[in-house]
Structure 1
Amino acid sequence: MKKWLLTSLAGVSLLCFLAFSSPGDRFFEIAKNLDIYASVFKELNKFYVDEVNPNQAVKTSIDALLKSFDPYTVFYPEDELEDFLTMTTGKYQGIGIILTEINDTYRISFIEENSPALKAGLAIGDQIISVNGITLSDKPEADPSKLLRGQAGTKISIKVLKNGQTVPQDISVNRETVQIKNVVYSGIIQPGVGYILLEDFNASAAKELRNALQNLKQAGMKKLILDLRENPGGLLTQAVDICNLFLPKDTEIVSTRGKVEEWNKTYNALNPCVEPELPLIILINNRSASASEIVAGVMQDYDRAVLIGQKSFGKGLVQVTRDLPFRTKMKITTAKYYIPSGRCIQAIDYQHKNPDGSAVALKDSNSKTFYTKNRRKVVDGGGITPDIAVEKFSTSPFTNALQKQHMIFLFACHYRSTHPTIPAAKDFQLSTADFQAFANWLKKQPFKFESQIEKQFQIISELAKKDKSYANMAPALQNFRKEWASNLDRELTAYQTDISNLLEQEIVQHYYLQKGMNEWSFSKDPSIREAVKLFDQTERFQSILAGK
């Protein structure tokens, strides 16, 4: 029956196309290739030596097809629909944690405030052994987070090894509808200076930001830092509504232009402005994308805010979601967006490819000049350039290795198990004794690090072995290797400041969650420090916006 249906459907598709096509027509080519594809699938299903999984085979072929387009054109099968809805609505039914696999175990690496997990006594660092009797380590191919999700109101039984303990315990947690916050922090960080960290642009982003503004105004806010760093974007309409909070009604925000002309649209501010005069600084970095760049770029085009940080990601593409048969969906790039100055900030040309198959990055030399409301020069392509550049924090190969092998996280777990309390997040500092304790602890862990010099030395050694005089060179090579071999104490001393900062940040999160981590960062973060300093320099702030 299935084979007959597949053959029949292919035939119907071909007949429908042929009825309105000619051999030279583009639609004929589509119909022809669909018929070929259906025939290939039919032959595989009929004759391939092993059983063919139709769902897996079709999903693989669709994914391969979409790889030739941009990475934002995506197919969602029915079993991934929940993830898609979570991404757009910011809601899911579960317990509010993120698990990270570390050395064949699953540990809680993030926990939502006011979540069911937090109410049940779970904490960062706890090891989840099983969920409803299913041992996580027995299902390495499965996504353990799917076991935690389910109907709100249902109970879930979790076997957990609490951080610092040796005997697992069973904990019952009630699943709830978890709302992923867009505004993950808001507060007064200096007298009169408000700070809002916006991490996403799901369906409630503008509402959350508006509420945060009202609360901060009541707390005495006179100036605002809006942090869009690491924000990957989201719903275009939310970006428009957020711009409307700072710009007058009827102001043009953004326009979209694509192949389907009737979908081209200009978005204007629909509501009265909430904060028309509030001095505003926006923080961006190279992972601020899409809707984040719309907000930052529009505020720059209207000279409404000073941008501080690093050049943004450069995603100037718009996607729409199309419903497909059998509860599947597809997100398709349909247009580019243009902000009020007329510029599009798309950084990658996915239509053209390099010889290696990668997409072409637009060159700065090809950028066009545009102008803000006050005639400040801005350019298109490659993202939004900040008004004040702050160098991005760079990590060394050694600190990268510590993080990649979870040494920072695991020591924070160890620290939490031996220190019941710590000072307030903003006051916490790692002592010299604490850092030495980390060094001693690290030497007992299966941590591996090979410096760049050692890696290059291996190459040189292999080449030297082919030389006739290798026997004479060998002692000198060995001495060089001993001199430059990775030395844990030397690396720890060289990067003590960076490592201490990483440890402090992680330890604070274990005690005070994300809110505490943000409060700890205020005195350390170069971009936040630069923003606070600029607010103290009123004349400089105004001259930047005036283009002087």
Structure 2
Amino acid sequence: MKYVLFFLLTLSAASANGQKMSATGRHNFETSKHLDIFNSLYRDLDLYYVDTLDAKKNIENALLYMLSQLDPYTTYYSNDNTEELKQMATGKYAGIGSLISFRNDLGRCIISDPYRDMPAAEAGLRLGDIILSIDGKEFAKTDKQEAADFSSSVSEALRGLPGTTLEVRVRRPGTDKPLTFKITRRTITIPSVTLSEMLTDSTGYIALNGFTENTARDVRLALVALKQQGARRLILDLRGNGGGLMGEAIQLVNLFIPRGKEVVSTRGKVKESTATYKTQAEPLDLEMPVVVLTDFGTASAAEITAGALQDYDRAVVMGRRTYGKGLVQEPRELPYGTMLKLTTSKYYIPSGRCIQAYKFEDGRPVHRPDSLADEFTTAAGRIVYDGGGIAPDVEVALDSMPNLLLYLAASDELFDYAVRYRNTHDTIASPTDFSLTETEYAQFRAFLKEKNFTYDRQSARLLETLRKVAQREGYAEEAQTEFNALEAKLTHNEDFDFEHWKNEILKLAEQTIVAAYYYDEGAARYLLKTDKDVKAAVELLSSKENYGQILSSPRKRK
């Protein structure tokens, strides 16, 4: 009987292995078949299509469409864009130290964000300078060029080997004659610490904009300096931080938790993509109370940092739920100097939670509510949930914001006003003291009218949607009088909007102007004056009892 049982078990195992091999074989066959179809299809297109095809453009479009069906982070880089991938990972490149952007109304690129203490700023280039030529070569977009391709050509011309020089000729708005600047390229390292300073006599503040090479080192240096100034509490601001290098997140967490603790694990399809990462060094401070600020822009390595500190009950997370990017990407080299940034695994933080969003709709993450999510526990036994992103221990609601501010923040008109202000005022007050006068606010409004700044009111769009719904349901004619009366009430009134939202508009305009003089650091320092999240964090840190209670109380399902 035992031989019969052995035979049946062996037969069952063989059958299972056969099915597995059969499934693998079918998968490989389907892959080969469709690759063969694609090759044959493009070969025939190239041979017989009525017009000559651009192989690079068409096949790249096919590749990009295929990758867009997977996740938002798996990306193909052509051989002329691989430097972009390296810069994203390291935060380094060789050039002049400024962002550029294309302006359709000018047909040229402009200096859009020169970095402090970098070659462009040191040579005298300013925000809004219009690039005319580089080393004598004219740069103006032709009708046949795509804006992205033109911008890439300008960026490529500005970059080069460290120590080499170039001449950039620009037109500065408000001046008659072109200006020429001789600039020496150097290796540019984009600092990840935007701002580090004392907020009170015992509370330090560090704002991080990314996780690139040496981020953890820079945070350590900033924290040591703050402690020397008397900091006994810390606010670590990760709002708007899109993440970066996982290793830097692990080292940053290690500043606050003991050696040998798990920070993150990755799980993927292949063995090489599955690993557990622990702290390797002695911590800098195990006792200092920490509040980590987060919002929807907090992603990837920044979420690992916030989540790990939450899981070890080492910090209070405050603000809004984070983005939910729990996917790991690795670069892989492809033929002809091209590269693929490929999603290979998912992140899991110490409690066992995966921070990846439940799903994506229209390119945006969708989070599961806590009521439907799985429960996990922190080191102290607090209940936390998966479902996408890191939910804060203390939620700070955002103030309502009208469409007017969203349109204004993204507008060329606001940028151009800041440029004009910079070019007509040699100096301004410090970031914490600067403000526009009533006369200047009136001038700003007049400038926007002159430039025909427009915006879409949410109320008008919702009314139009309501009209369409009423039309479908048969109530449109009956409710026409009410619709007309409501439309009259909602008539676009810019004067009312600019007066009603005056404080918010002033804040946006002043922040933009401050950045033109004092760069990102100055803008961040200006915003601290009225930062609702920072104020709440300072208040929490000032109460040892409330801080300790949050880290010991279980969160309830919503």
Question: Residue 112 of structure 2 corresponds to which residue in structure 1?
Answer: 109
Retained in 1: the 8 A contact 2:367–2:387? no
Structure 2 residue identity aligned to 1:29 = E
Shift of 1:378: 0.6
> Matched residues in 1 for 2:372 and 2:467: separation?
44
Q: What SS does the corresponding residue of 1:381 show, helix, strand or coil?
A: coil
- 1:323 pairs with 333, 343, 346, which one? 333
Asked if residue 219 in structure 1 is aligned to residue 229 in structure 2, the reply is: yes
Closer/same/farther in 2, CA of residues 542 and 325 from structure 1, 3 Å limit? same
Deviation at 1:491, TM superposition (A): 1.2
Farther-moved stretch of structure 1 (316-325 vs 411-420): 411-420
Give the 3 Å change call, closer, same or farther, for CA 455–237 of structure 1 in structure 2. Answer: closer
How many equivalent residue pairs? 521
User: What does 1:94-493 correspond to in 2, within 5 Å?
Assistant: 94-102=95-103, 104-105=105-106, 106-132=109-135, 133-138=137-142, 141=147, 142-143=150-151, 144-349=154-359, 362=368, 364-455=370-461, 484-493=490-499
Aligned counterparts, 1:39-118, within 5 A: 39-102=40-103, 104-105=105-106, 106-118=109-121
- Kept in 1, the 8 Å contact 2:366–2:388? The answer is no
Task: State, as a whole percentage, how many aligned pairs show the same letter.
Answer: 37
Say if 1:29 and 1:158 are closer, same or farther in 2 by CA, change over 3 A: same
SS at match of 1:208: helix
Task: Work out whether residues 92 and 187 of structure 2, in 8 Å CA contact, stay in contact via their aligned partners in 1.
Answer: yes
Report if aligned partners of 1:22, 1:28 keep a CA contact under 8 Å in 2.
no
Mean CA deviation greater in 74-83 or 126-135: 126-135
Cα distance in 2 for residues equivalent to 1:461 and 1:306 = 46
| 1:307-351: CA deviation from partner (whole Å, max 9, x where unpaired) | 11100001111122222222222122121111111111211336x
Shift of 1:153: 2.2
Q: Is the 1:196–1:225 Cα contact (8 Å) retained in structure 2? A: yes
Call closer, same or farther: CA 1:528–1:462 in 2, change over 3 Å.
Answer: closer
Change over 3 Å in CA distance of 1:457–1:300 after alignment to 2: closer
C-alpha distance after superposition, 1:474-504 (max 9, x if no partner): 9998887665421221111111011011011
Aligned 8 A contact 2:129 2:170 in 1: yes
| Farther off after superposition, 335-344 or 432-441 | 432-441
C-alpha displacement at 1:210, in angstroms? 1.7
Q: Are the counterparts in 2 of residues 523 and 529 from structure 1 also a CA contact under 8 Å?
A: no
What secondary structure sits across from 1:412 in the alignment?
helix
Structure 1 distance, partners of 2:486, 2:212, is: 55
CA distance in 2, matches of 1:70, 1:460: 34
Partners of 1:540 and 1:423 in 2: CA distance: 38
Of stretches 127-136 and 489-498 in structure 1, the one that deviates more from structure 2 is 127-136
Q: Normalising by structure 1, report the TM-score.
A: 0.88
C-alpha offsets along residues 437-486 of structure 1, whole Å, 9 cap, x if unaligned? 22222222221234344456778999999xxxx99x99998887665421
Q: Name the CA distance, whole Å, in 1 between partners of 2:545 and 2:23.
A: 69
Secondary structure at the aligned position of 2:530 is classed as coil
State the SS of the aligned residue for 2:509.
helix
Q: Is the 8 A contact 1:158 1:170 kept in 2?
A: yes
Q: Output one character per residue of 1:198-247: Cα deviation in whole Å (capped at 9) or x when no partner.
A: 11112221122122222222232221111111111111111111111111
The alignment partner of 2:432 has SS state of: helix
Is the CA contact (8 Å cut-off) linking 1:228 and 1:288 kept in structure 2?
A: yes
Contact map agreement 1:21 1:27 (CA 8 A) in 2: no
Q: Distance in 2 between matches of 1:113 and 1:337?
A: 35
CA gap 1:357/1:304 in 2 versus in 1, 3 angstroms: closer
Question: How far apart are the structure 2 equivalents of 1:205 and 1:152?
Answer: 22
The amino acid that maps onto 1:391 is A
Is contact 1:337–1:344 with CA below 8 Å preserved after alignment?
Answer: yes
Tell me the SS of whatever aligns to 1:426.
Answer: coil
> 1: CA distance between counterparts of 2:481 and 2:231?
68
In the TM superposition, residue 293 of structure 1 has moved relative to its aligned partner by: 0.6
Checking the alignment, whether the CA contact within 8 Å between 1:449 and 1:486 is kept in structure 2 is no
In the aligned structure 2, how far is the partner of 1:114 from the partner of 1:24? 58
Moved more, 443-452 or 423-432: 443-452
Q: What is the rounded CA distance, in whole Å, between the counterparts of 2:101 and 2:366 in structure 1?
A: 34
Tell me, yes or no, if the aligned pair for 2:319 and 2:394 is still in contact at 8 Å: yes
Judge conservation of contact 2:254–2:282 (CA < 8 Å) in 1. Answer: yes
Task: Name the SS for the 2:80 alignment partner.
Answer: helix
Contact preservation (8 Å) 2:98, 2:120: yes
SS of 1:79's partner is coil
Corresponding residue SS for 1:341: coil
SS in 1 for 2:174: coil
TM-score, normalization: structure 2?
A: 0.86
Deviations 1:489-526 (A, max 9, x none): 11111110110110111111111111111111112111
* TM-fit CA distance, 1:295: 0.5
Q: Unpaired segments of 5 or more residues in structure 2?
A: 1-20
For residue 4 of structure 1, what is the aligned residue in structure 2?
none
Matched, 1:531 2:537: yes
The amino acid of 1:518's aligned partner reads A
- Residues 374, 547 of structure 1: 8 Å contact kept: no
Q: Is the 8 A contact 1:253 1:268 kept in 2?
A: yes
